[in-house]
Amino acid sequence: MTKRIGFIGCGQMGQAMIQGMIDAGVVKAEDIAATALSDETIDFVTDEYGIQIANDNKRLARESDLLFLAVKPYVYQGIILEIRDEVPEETVVVTIAAGITLDAMKEAFGRNVKVIRSMPNTPSLVGAGMSVLCPNDFVTEEELADVMEVFESFGQAEIVEEKLMDAVPAVSGSSPAFVYMFIEAMADAAVQQGFPRDKAYKMVAQAVEGSAKMVRETGRHPGELKDAVCTPGGVTIAGVNKLEEVGLRSAIIQGMNACTDKSKELSGKK
């Protein structure tokens, strides 16, 4: 890809994306530039990734073919006010935040701009991310393919309709937090039974990773895979029954719905 890629903001998610692109050979380090507020971040990112980094958002906006806004949602209005007259017509702007709609981006820029909403997740840091993209009508198929290539360099990516974007945080953006809670709870139980904590985390994390891989690679229904583990009268079905009794499924569904409700609130739909 012979694109100039810019990141306004270079926190953990921005760094994960940059690392993924460089490692996958999607783009060379010298073709990536970023901005950051603190000198500490500027020095670290320069040393760690070998990219150009400074604090001039306007210049970065002028010189980028793909411009990632990798900042918190509450910062968007101020950043766009700063750069909106600098972004070239052909530049594709990629948002990385919940609740920032395509219409909101158009209103903030005051003109038609090529925009792609995206929602990556933190496993992108280890090359196992799940990202969801939603382009507006001004993005070409070729441009969308270029952005997909970027996101697929640190995991997997899917394109969805914008009406589904408010549910994405629950499905893939926030859900790693729920999985971490699950892993922590299972490890706590293992420690209670006498396992050293480091071994408990290793064993539980591998069990979760392997289970996810079974779902993805076999294509079998999760319920069918669960049934295959449950020997009649055995220990697994006893555990499954207890989890059903205390409402595991209901708790997960309620947590995900709460995420979606908050996402809708941020985007002004509630």
Question: Which residues belong to the annotated binding site for NADPH?
Answer: 57
129 neighbors 156 (Cβ within 8 angstroms): yes
d(CA 22, CA 29): 6
**What type of residue sits at position 223?**
G
**Token duo for residue 217:** 């690679």
Cβ neighbours of 259 (radius 10 Å): 22
Specify binding-site residues: 8-13, 57, 70-73
d(CA 204, CA 207): 5
**What type of residue sits at position 159?**
I
Integer angstrom CA distances of residue 241 from 141, 230, 247: 49, 11, 10
Specify binding-site residues for NADP(+): 8-13, 70-73
**Token duo for residue 19:** 């690392």
Integer angstrom CA distances of residue 235 from 202, 203, 206, 231, 232: 21, 18, 20, 8, 9
